[in-house]
Structure 1
Amino acid sequence: MEAVKKNEIARALNRAFSGIADDLQEWLLIIGEKIEGDGTKAMADLWNEAKPKNENIIDWYCRRDVSVNMVRELASWHEADENVRKQNESIIQHLRGPRVLDFGAGIGTLAIAISLAYPDMEIDVFEPGPACREFMEWRSEKLGAKINVHVNQPRPQEFYNTIIAMDVAEHLQRPAYLIDFAWQYLDDNGILACNWVFHKDELHPQHIAECTKEANEFHCALREKFGPRDDAAVVHINGWPSIHERINQQDMCSDYWDEQWSDVTRRDDKWPLYQEISKAIEKHMGDENKTSVRVLDIGCGAGALLDRLSAIDGVISTGFDFSPVAVETCKAKGRHAIITDVKDLQIFGIDEGDGADVVICSDLMSYVRRKG
């Protein structure tokens, strides 16, 4: 990407991400509403009060009180979390036009940034929350961005070149629907830019959890529609945007993953699942009355999970990865990691008595063609 365009994108991101909290207060004064307290907790409380059934989930997101608190949550998040901006920048760098859809756009920060960086692109936005739409439209007009905001899911006559769905899948009654929709409305050279954070906790009871039927159907649909992920152009490191081309072209290889792990912004992994894995290992040690366990992390990447495990007394952890860059990154942090391939794992005696007590494949299986 030429330097001039990089500068234009940087300026667009600065305008889209600057002053969101101040803009929110100005907008609230205009519409005569107040938001007090934490938006995330308020949404969790509203969900627990309503306990919506599957068929009523979309109606819950359409409620104004829910949407107003979502505006507050997203405004605070986008203002404070530098990673959101970096993720948005990554998407813009992969963007294909001229027709773009932001599916579940929230308060429209990314859509506004795209419009400011690429004024000639046609940008459609779908967002069910009424307050989110109103704030998005007001702010886009204030900043001079041009976006088309839809109340209902658009059914275009022409295909989109890019469909974006960030932090959307875990909110859907059927996350696989997102993949079906993208497949139907992307052109043959189009890309789907999405992520998925299948994690349910006290602050996010509305999320779909990992290891559920719904989450599994999502991953299966992604592989079925866009091909196995080892054939897709994937830039997905636990919450980072995953870029999938409708025509597969990127084979999974060590050179490819070396390139991904060379980007230091993808090494600081705060994936909630890693917290759950750590807790599960500690519980296993307690249940089995063990003072130490040997843990093998297959596909350890840059060692984010190994870092977390190193803080648990009695855990002896080893990481396997076929990316030399990933393994060297682990070793530089003092972690034990080995360059290997999945087919070579049998030599380490995983299924033997002297093998690992715990074997972790947290995200590996999405990348391999045969599961044997």
Structure 2
Amino acid sequence: MLSFPIPVFFSSYWNNSFHLEHHLQTFLNLEPDLLQAKLLAGQQKMSDLGQNDFQWETATEFYNNQVGSNYLFDLASFHLGSQDYIRDTLCLIADQADGKVLDFGGGLGTHAIAAALCPEVTQVIYCDINPIHCEFVKYRAKKLGLEDKLTCSPQFTTTETFDTILCFDVLEHLPDPTQQLLDFYNVLSSNGKLIVNWYFSQGLNNEFPFHTEDPQVIEKFFRTIQRHYLEVFHPYLITARCYKKSLEPII
């Protein structure tokens, strides 16, 4: 398997995921044993919540009010157990991100932190509708000395322009991922980059009941991305893709 050089400004990530586990423990005031138990149960807890409480008509309320800290443990369990995969995603960010960055639906803030560490990046706006996620990322930014470069917002604004947009593991949670692609297109600078992935599947055993897998929604999404964006090749064996804005979208 290819091993890519690690950007020196990410050196603190490779051993401890930007101190993720320690940040979770201190932010939530958990004993180490209890934290480990919650990390182990993370995905199942989210799956149970989704199967019992999730409806597309109330998706925003579900992520805003019902999820609470459960998604932190689900995401953290994945990040801590998939560091090689996350590493290559961060290398892609290091290669492509510059200027003003939007991290849309940023979860734990790992990608926003990575962007803030990139020397070509001037500002990072982290956006997530879950208020606990926002508070956690504010806490992490302060602990890492990045609070002047990384700011948090619960809402995506369409009045600003961004040079780089990050959106990881979010689009499949939206009832209309195509509209989000168009919103990104409208706020992306003419030379901007969109770094994004998606997972339009509810899993083999319905472990992701809050993901859309509607064939019509997915087809509309792919037709839209082909019309409005041009893919930029990268060498990393990850799901994330990089696009530049097509200045003459195909109609």
What TM-score, normalized by structure 2, do the two folds share?
A: 0.83
| Whole-Å separation in 2 of the counterparts to 1:178 and 1:89 | 25
Cross-structure match for 1:42: 45
Equivalent residue runs for 1:183-262 within 5 Å: 183-201=185-203, 202-209=206-213, 212-226=215-229, 231-235=230-234, 239-247=238-246
| Whole-Å separation in 1 of the counterparts to 2:197 and 2:183 | 15
Cross-structure match for 2:76: 75
- Answering whether residue 153 of structure 2 is matched by residue 150 of structure 1, we say yes
Q: Which moved more, 1:181-190 or 1:143-152?
A: 143-152
**Equivalent pair of 1:192/1:244 in contact (CA under 8 Å):** yes
Cross-structure match for 1:17: 17
Do the aligned partners of residues 234 and 178 (structure 1) sit closer, same or farther apart at CA in structure 2, a change above 3 Å counting?
farther
| Whole-Å separation in 2 of the counterparts to 1:167 and 1:46 | 18
Do the aligned partners of residues 38 and 161 (structure 1) sit closer, same or farther apart at CA in structure 2, a change above 3 Å counting?
same
If you compute each CA radius of gyration, which structure gives the higher value, 1 or 2?
Answer: 1
**Does the residue aligned with 1:67 lie in a helix, a strand or coil?**
coil
Please list every run of 5 or more consecutive structure 2 residues that lacks an aligned counterpart in the other structure: none
| Whole-Å separation in 2 of the counterparts to 1:16 and 1:182 | 32
Equivalent residue runs for 1:94-105 within 5 Å: 94-95=96-97, 97-105=98-106
Equivalent residue runs for 1:80-119 within 5 Å: 80-81=81-82, 82-95=84-97, 97-118=98-119
**Equivalent pair of 1:21/1:76 in contact (CA under 8 Å):** no
State the shift of 1:57 in Å: 0.8
State the shift of 1:19 in Å: 3.0
State the shift of 1:72 in Å: 0.8
**Does the residue aligned with 2:232 lie in a helix, a strand or coil?**
coil
- Answering whether residue 30 of structure 2 is matched by residue 27 of structure 1, we say no
Cross-structure match for 2:8: 8
Match of 1:168 among 159, 170, 191: 170
**Equivalent pair of 2:100/2:121 in contact (CA under 8 Å):** no
| Whole-Å separation in 2 of the counterparts to 1:183 and 1:205 | 28
**Equivalent pair of 2:50/2:208 in contact (CA under 8 Å):** no
**Equivalent pair of 1:16/1:112 in contact (CA under 8 Å):** no
| Whole-Å separation in 2 of the counterparts to 1:169 and 1:75 | 19
State the shift of 1:86 in Å: 1.3
CA RMSD after TM alignment: 2.7
State the shift of 1:8 in Å: 2.9
**Equivalent pair of 2:7/2:91 in contact (CA under 8 Å):** no
CA offsets 1:233-279 (integer angstroms, 9 cap, x no match): 2449885221111147xxxxxxxxxxxxxxxxxxxxxxxxxxxxxxx
Cross-structure match for 2:58: 56
Do the aligned partners of residues 51 and 240 (structure 1) sit closer, same or farther apart at CA in structure 2, a change above 3 Å counting?
closer
**Does the residue aligned with 2:193 lie in a helix, a strand or coil?**
strand
Cross-structure match for 2:138: 137
CA offsets 1:94-131 (integer angstroms, 9 cap, x no match): 11x31110011001011112212338611111101111
| Whole-Å separation in 1 of the counterparts to 2:21 and 2:202 | 27
| Whole-Å separation in 1 of the counterparts to 2:219 and 2:123 | 33
Equivalent residue runs for 1:274-289 within 5 Å: none
**Equivalent pair of 1:13/1:89 in contact (CA under 8 Å):** no
Do the aligned partners of residues 245 and 119 (structure 1) sit closer, same or farther apart at CA in structure 2, a change above 3 Å counting?
closer
**Does the residue aligned with 1:139 lie in a helix, a strand or coil?**
helix
Letter paired with 1:50: D
What TM-score, normalized by structure 1, do the two folds share?
A: 0.57
Equivalent residue runs for 1:319-338 within 5 Å: none
Letter paired with 1:174: D
**Does the residue aligned with 1:121 lie in a helix, a strand or coil?**
strand
**Does the residue aligned with 1:154 lie in a helix, a strand or coil?**
coil
Aligned pair count reads 234
Do the aligned partners of residues 238 and 167 (structure 1) sit closer, same or farther apart at CA in structure 2, a change above 3 Å counting?
farther
